[in-house]
Structure 1
C-alpha cells in the first residue's frame, strides 16, 4: 500500500526537537536549575523563561500527538507482529542502550562539574519519552488494529464529521481538561516520569492516531481555522502571564496547550508540506540528536559557564556548541558506523537512507 509522506509533520518534528534543545539550555540559566538536576549558571537569565513558559505547555504533548500519527502510517503497511518488531528495533533498543550508555554521561559531567564523588547507575533521564511511547504502543495497539479493520466504518465517519467543524478539535481538549482536573499536576509542565506526563502523553498519542484516522477533514479544519486556534492560545497565554505569572489553573493550561498544537498543525500544513534535501537529512538526524543532546549540552555548560563573558554570550555559545557537537557526532560517528546506527534508531545500512528520500516509499517516521 502506498502512503503519502507528510512533509509538514516531519518538519514540525524536527523543529520541536530543535526547540527542545533551546529549552533545555534555557534551564541552565534559571535559579532553580539544580532542583531539576541541571548544571546551574552563576548568572541568571530569567528573561528567557517568559517565552519558554509559552513553549513548555505544548512541546511535549505535541511530540506525543506526532508519534501517534506516525503509528497510524506505520500500521498501514504492517501487521501487529511486524509493527512490534519494528517499534522494538526503533524504540526499545535505543531506549535500553541510552539508559546504560548515554544518560549516565550527563550525570557524570554533572558530578565532575560540582566535584562530587563519581557514580554510575542506569536511568531513563530524558529518554523517559521513549519508555512512555513503548507502553502506549502495547496498550493501544489492539484498539488501533480494531479501528484499522473498520477504517471506512461508522467510527471513522463520525470522527470525520466532528473534525470538519472548528469546534471538533476543541472537543478533544475536553479529555485533557478532565485529566488535569483528576491528576492535578503541580506544575502543569512537569511531564517527565509523572502520572500527569503519562496520562497526558497517552491521550495525545491516542488522539494523534485518531486525528489522522479521521481523514482529511481534520487537516482542512486546522488549515482554515489555524489563526483562531493560535489566537485562543495567545489570549490564554496572556491571561496566564498577566494574572497568574507562569501557572494558571490546570484546565486553562490544557486548553491553551491544545490550541497551540492545533494552530501549529494548521500552520505546518499551510507552509511546510514540501519535500527538500535538507528535510530528508534533518528528519534522519533528529532522533539520534534527541538521544545524545543532554550530555553534549552538559559538556558545553562545563566549558562555557566558567568563562568571564556576558550571560547572553554564554547562552548563545552553549547553543552553538551543542548544535555543532551534535551535528559532528551524528554525521561522523553515529551515521557512518554501522553497528552504532540501530542503537540510535537508524537502519543498519547507510544506503537504505537514500531510499527514505523517496516520499512514496515510506510513511511518517516518528519517535
Structure 2
C-alpha cells in the first residue's frame, strides 16, 4: 500500500509565513513610517522596524497564497472535486465565520479600552473613533475571506480541464512564470498605495484577485510541475542578487510616510489616488522585489526546510491558531506599553514573546485535540511516521 508523501518544506514555510505575521504586526507599532497608519503605534520608535515591516510586507502574503494554491492542488488531486470544496469551506470559510464576530467584539473593546490605557493615544485610533460611518473591514481575517473566493474559483475552473491545464502549462517554464508574476503584480498594484494595503473589504476586489490570485495559481502549478520549478530555482545567486538589488531600490524610492490628513482623506474616499511622479517606477521595483523575494523564500525552503520533526509539525499545526488570535493579543500588550519608557527594541521583544506565549499556551491546553483544533487542522488518526511517496511524486521531488 502506497502512502501519500508529505511536503515538509511546504509545512515549514507555511508555519514560518504565519508566525512572521506576529513579527510584522509587532514591528508596525515601533516603526516611525507607520505612525499614522497603525492602531498601536508607540512614542518610542526605531527606523529598523520600518525597514523590517516593509520588507516582510513584500513577500509574506504572496508566499502564503502560493503555499495555499499548492495545498489546494494537492487536495484536489488526492480527493474528489466535491471533497475538495467541502474541506476548503470547512477549513477556511467556517473559521472565518466563527472568529469574525468574536474579533469584531474584541476590536471594539480594544478601541474603547485604549482611551484608558494608552497615553498618548495612537493617532489612527483617534481618527477611527471620529468616523461616523466606518467601512466594514475583515481585519486580518481578510486572508481567509479572499482564499475562500480563490478556492471557489479553483473548484469551478477544475471542471474545465482544457482551460485548467492551459493555465498550469505556464508553470512549466520558470522564467515565463516569473515574468508573469512581475507583470501581474505591477498591473494589479499600479493604482494602489505603496506599501499596498490589505484587501480587507467584504466585496471582491479586482486588484487583489489579480495580485494574490497569480501567486495562488503559481502554487497550483508548482504542485503539478515541481520538478521543473525546483530546477528553475537553481541559480540561487541570481535570484538573491535580484532580490537584494530590488529591495535596495525599493527603499530608496519609498515615499514619505502619509500624514494624518492624507490618511483621513483616503479613509473617507475609500480609495487611493497616486500623486508621486515616481509612483510607476516604484510599483515596478516593488513588483520585481515581490516576485524575487517570494521565489527566494520558496527556494530556501525547498533546499533547507524539507525535513520533518515533531517540533516543526507541532508549530505548523499551532500556527493557524496563532494567526487567528495574534493581532488582538498584540494590541492588548502594546497599548499599555505606550505608557512605559522603554527602548523600542525592548517593547518589541515583550510584545512578540508575550503574544507567542499566550497564543501557544491557549493552543496547547484549550485548542489542540479539542473541537477548534479539529476544525482548524483535522483529527489526528495516526501517529507521526515517515510516509512513502509514489513513483510519480518521487520524480517530482528529484
TM-score by length of 2: 0.78
Structure 1 residue 180 corresponds to structure 2 residue 194: no
Pick aligned residue for 2:293 from 248, 251, 260: 260
- Cross-structure match for 2:283: 250
Q: Paired residue for 1:331?
A: 364
Q: Aligned pair in 2 of structure 1 residues 308, 106: CA closer, same or farther (>3 Å)? A: same
- In 1, the alpha carbon distance for the partners of 2:92 and 2:346 equals 36
User: How much is the aligned-residue C-alpha RMSD, in angstroms?
Assistant: 2.9
In structure 2, how many angstroms separate the alpha carbons of the residues matched to 1:198 and 1:290? Answer: 22
CA distance in 2, matches of 1:244, 1:122: 29
8 Å CA contact 1:16–1:59 kept in 2: the answer is yes
Q: Secondary structure at the match of 2:377?
A: coil
Query: 308, 321, 341: which one pairs with 1:275?
Result: 308
Return 121-130 or 314-323, whichever deviates more.
121-130
Q: What does 1:41-190 correspond to in 2, within 5 Å?
A: 41-115=42-116, 124-147=138-161, 159-160=171-172, 162-163=173-174, 166=175, 168-181=177-190, 184-190=191-197
Give the whole-Å Cα distance in 1 for the aligned partners of 2:170 and 2:17: 31
1:55-98 residue CA offsets vs partner (Å, 9 max, x unmatched) = 21111111111100110101112112111111111011110011
Q: Distance in 1 between matches of 2:101 and 2:238?
A: 45
Give the 3-state SS of the residue equivalent to 2:43 in structure 1.
coil
Q: Is the 8 A contact 2:6 2:387 kept in 1?
A: yes
1:202 is matched with which residue? 213
1:23 aligns with 2:24: yes
Q: 1:155 to 1:339 in 2, by over 3 A?
A: closer
Asked if the contact 1:94/1:342 (under 8 Å) is kept, the reply is no
2:260 maps to what in 1?
none
- Cα drift, residue 355 of structure 1: 4.4
Q: Could you tell me how far apart the structure 1 residues matched to 2:249 and 2:167 are?
A: 37
Report if aligned partners of 1:13, 1:66 keep a CA contact under 8 Å in 2. yes
Task: Map 1:297-308 to 2 at 5 A.
Answer: 297-308=330-341
Shift in Å, 1:36: 3.8
Q: In 2, are the aligned partners of 1:126 and 1:192 still within 8 Å (CA)?
A: no
Q: Is the 8 A contact 2:30 2:42 kept in 1?
A: yes
Any stretches of 5+ residues in structure 1 without a counterpart? none
Equivalent in the alignment of 2:249 = 239
Contact 2:34 2:41 in 1 (8 A): yes
Q: Quote the residue 2:235 is aligned against.
A: 225
Label 1:268 to 1:293 Cα distance change in 2 as closer, same or farther (>3 A).
Answer: same
The aligned length equals 346
Superimposed CA distance per residue, residues 334-360 of structure 1 (whole angstroms, 9 cap, x where no aligned partner): 114x233345x132x4x43x5466555
72 and 26 in structure 1: CA distance in 2 versus 1, 3 angstrom threshold: same
Tell me, in whole angstroms, the C-alpha distance in 2 between the residues paired with 1:35 and 1:243: 20
SS at match of 1:249: helix
Tell me the CA shift for residue 157 of structure 1.
6.2
Shift of 1:187: 2.1
Q: Compared with structure 1, are the counterparts of its residues 50 and 287 closer, same or farther at alpha carbon in structure 2 (3 Å cutoff)?
A: same
For 1:3-42, what aligned pairs fall within 5 Å after superposition? 3-31=4-32, 33=34, 35-42=36-43
**Deviation of the 1:243 alpha carbon:** 4.2
User: How far apart in 1 are the matches of 2:76 and 2:5?
Assistant: 13
TM-score by length of 1: 0.84
